[in-house]
Amino acid sequence: MRRGSLSKQQVSFAGSVADGARTAWLVPLGTGVLLAVFSACQPDFDKLLAGDAGGPGDSGNGGSDTGGVSGTMTSAGGAAVENGGAGSEPDETGGGGPASGVGGSAETGGAAGSEAGGASEAGGAAGASTVCDLPTTFSWTSSGVLVSPRSDPTHDLVSIKDPSVVFFDGRWHIYASTANTTGNWSLVYLNFTDWTEAEAAPQYYLDQTPGFGGYHAAPQVFFFRPQNKWYLVYQSQPPTYSTADDPSRPETWTAPRAFYATMPDGTPDLPIDYWVICDDVYCFLFFTGNDGRLYRSQTAIEDFPDGFGELTIALEDTQFALFEGNAVYKVKGLNKYLAIVEGFGSTGARYYRSWTSDRLDGAWTPLADSWQVPFAGENNVAYEPSASDWTNDVSHGELIRDGYDETLTIDACNLQLLYQGRDPASDGVSYSQLPYRLGLLRAAP
């Protein structure tokens, strides 16, 4: 990242590193661009190489993209390919850092939160009713690391990543992926009242919950109003879900159940990062495939979670330009949806691209979708004065929502992104051992 201005230290080399049964081929794609492509993730991988009930409180606006001394960035990170066998997870790199002082929630309505308005648990957004459109360009400020992995005698963890976050019942609730020192992946849960408490919050390992042993990763959590139930969506590898009555009780999630009895025709070799969002009529399941495509399936809202049918390609580009970490949101007060997907920039660092549409099943129009003009990436992110320069990438994360229901609504007046990052000095280690941490971007006013 940067403080005010940004200089880049580029790298260019080729070679390979072994990672157990996999080999990471370090592929130079021009001066200063290096992608690490993991082979042997699964038999067909070589083919890829060929070709509310209420809502969360508003959070405080972030600082501007100015000030500080210029930093130097190294960008040897790679395009690692996600794989979905038991005990291994989609390969990724990237991240960023959260900021403290995010708003709270008022259980009976009215303003709440430490920096900006809150939300009413009984009836949706409370406080000011200002409606903002999305800007055409974005500028963000990042904190340092707010959430790190926490080990115990049976969980020797190296990373926490892929966060999903909601504000409910006066607390922030985060579900995320973890990786341990033997390369196995699982899920973790934590909650806290203020972001200053996030690093010290106890972490619950979901492999303690019945049915959650083995590989599960990349969670999404939301409240489905038609059934008055909470849903946890994740990959196992196929798209899987569990339900509960209270997200603060992770031990009560039901055993994993697949959305599909058999994956539909046209499913890519490596489907990953499943995301559910609903309008008044349909629920949609989005995911990427490490093939440059964003896929969509849908079902009637009264049939959810059953009934998802054939696949449609929602977005398409080259493999590493449209890679993974997708999310789709409703923009508060507008007939507009926002889609964000990770890609790789010219330095090999990860960043987020964005598109908008007036329908979840409609065509998507580019918003800020390039390395030079990203939704969020090293070219438009600066650090807070108190934060150290700790990551080059803006990778798999989730925007702070204006509620917690199935509409996945965000407030464009108050954009914040909880995301993952890692120390650039970790370049070159096996993917599962990359030390991911969580942080928060705050949009500049």
Series of mean pLDDT values for 10-residue runs along the chain (445 residues): 38 32 36 36 32 35 33 34 36 35 36 36 50 97 97 97 98 98 97 97 98 97 98 97 98 98 94 97 97 98 97 97 97 98 94 98 98 97 93 96 98 98 92 95 93
pLDDT score recorded for residue 188: 98
What does the chain come to in residues? Answer: 445
Q: Which residues of 77-91 are buried (b: 16+ CB within 10 A; e: fewer)?
A: bbbbbbbbeeebbbb
Residue 244, number of CB atoms within 10 A of its CB: 18
pLDDT score recorded for residue 236: 96
For residue 5, give the 3-state DSSP assignment: strand
pTM of the predicted protein model? 0.76
Q: What tokens were used for 65? A: 């993209």
pLDDT score recorded for residue 246: 98
pLDDT in tens, 202-220: 999 999 999 999 999 999 9
Cβ-proximal residues to 3 (8 Å cutoff; 6+ apart), any chain: 67, 68, 69, 70, 71, 382, 383, 389
Distance CA 412, CA 138 (A): 11
pLDDT score recorded for residue 129: 76
pLDDT in tens, 13-30: 233 333 333 333 333 333
Fold (topology level) of 53-75+84-443: Tachylectin-2; Chain A (2.115.10)
**DSSP secondary structure code for residue 49 in this structure:** H
- Spell out the SS3 assignment of 136-199: CCCCEEECCCCECCCCECCECEEEEEEEEEEEECCEEEEEEEEEECCCCEEEEEEEECCHHHHH
| Nearest of 171, 179, 202 to residue 189 by alpha carbon | 202
